[in-house]
Amino acid sequence: MSDGTVLAGVIVETEAYLGVSDAASHAFGGRRTPRNEAMYGPPGTAYVYFTYGMHFCCNVVCANPGVPQAVLLRALEPIAGLEVMRRHRAARRRGQVPDTDLCSGPARLCQALGLDRAFNGADLLGRSALRIVRAPRGPLDDEQVGRSPRIGVDYAGEWARRPLRWFVRGSAHVSGSKRLGTAS
DNA sequence: ATGACGATTTACT
DNA sequence: GTAAATCGTCATA
């Protein structure tokens, strides 16, 4: 953060949005507007969008410039800056927030990290304030990764059923872990 | 200018 | 389980 505090977490849940052919994607049918323009940028670009009148969600652009494919960051296991995250998340809530719920959802994660439209279009691979680095613990075995259909895209017909959500099996930091964390 | 809607979260019955 | 919160964006006119 601006005061030097480091907020960090391990990505434990993601969803893929496969571009112009994907009915659940903001770029479906080649739709290109000021809002989703970042999706058409180079790989490693952040696509942060505002939704439901109150939430932000953060994606990582994955394909070449002009090809609007991205991965939605859905949950993190927080590993640094927990105090700040708790403050961010408790602000607009009644009680306290369990540590397993600090970043267990695409909008929760953005709230905990303080991500908003200022980060839209940011380069996640450089030295800027927001970045993604290789996990020190290394890659996971396939057995440790679960898959399921994506969340909240029921309007997308056949695409809604595709298993394009990935999560760390057994992680308590996955969104809706009680319902979905053990699926597939 | 208008209106419908959302890649969600939270609270409440 | 259901519903409220809350508003930018985009398609339509």
Helix (H, G, I), strand (E, B) or coil at A83: helix
| Chain C nucleotides with an atom closer than 7 Å to a protein C-beta | 5-11
pLDDT at A131 over 60: yes
Q: Is the CB of A101 under 7 A from strand B?
A: yes
Amino acid at A173: H
For the stretch A3-61, pLDDT in tens is 889 999 999 999 999 999 999 999 999 999 999 999 999 999 999 999 999 999 999 99
Which pLDDT score, from 0 to 100, does residue A132 have? 97
Which pLDDT score, from 0 to 100, does residue A178 have? 67
Distance A143 CA to C6 C1' (A): 41
CA pair distance A68, A118, nearest whole angstrom: 20
Q: Is the CB of A92 under 7 A from strand C?
A: no
Q: Is the CB of A32 under 7 A from strand C?
A: no
Q: Is the CB of A174 under 7 A from strand B?
A: no
Per the CB < 8 A criterion, the answer to whether A71 and A132 are in contact is no
Amino acid at A89: R
Which runs of consecutive H residues, i.e. helices, occur in chain A? Answer: 82-90, 106-113, 158-161
Query: What are the residues whose beta carbons fall under 8 Å from the beta carbon of A183, sequence distance 6 or more?
Result: A146, A148
Which pLDDT score, from 0 to 100, does residue A60 have? 98
Is residue A129 very low, low, confident or very high in pLDDT (cuts 50, 70, 90)? very high
Sheet holding A46-51, edge to edge: A46-51, A55-61, A70-80, A8-17, A165-168, A145-148
Q: Is the CB of A22 under 7 A from strand B?
A: no
Q: CA geometry: angle at A8 spanning A150 and A64, to 5°?
A: 55
Q: Is the CB of A156 under 7 A from strand C?
A: no
Which pLDDT score, from 0 to 100, does residue A156 have? 96
For the stretch A132-164, pLDDT in tens is 999 888 899 999 999 999 999 999 999 999 999
Please tell me what DSSP assigns to residue A2.
T
With CA atoms as reference, report the closest residue to A105 among A140, A151, A139, A60: A151
pTM surpassing 0.85?
yes
Residue A120 vs residue A2, higher pLDDT = A120
For the stretch A82-105, pLDDT in tens is 999 999 999 989 889 999 999 999
Per the CB < 8 A criterion, the answer to whether A104 and A75 are in contact is yes
Per the CB < 8 A criterion, the answer to whether A176 and A150 are in contact is no
Amino acid at A14: T
| Chain B nucleotides with an atom closer than 7 Å to a protein C-beta | 6-11
Which pLDDT score, from 0 to 100, does residue A176 have? 87
Helix (H, G, I), strand (E, B) or coil at A32: coil
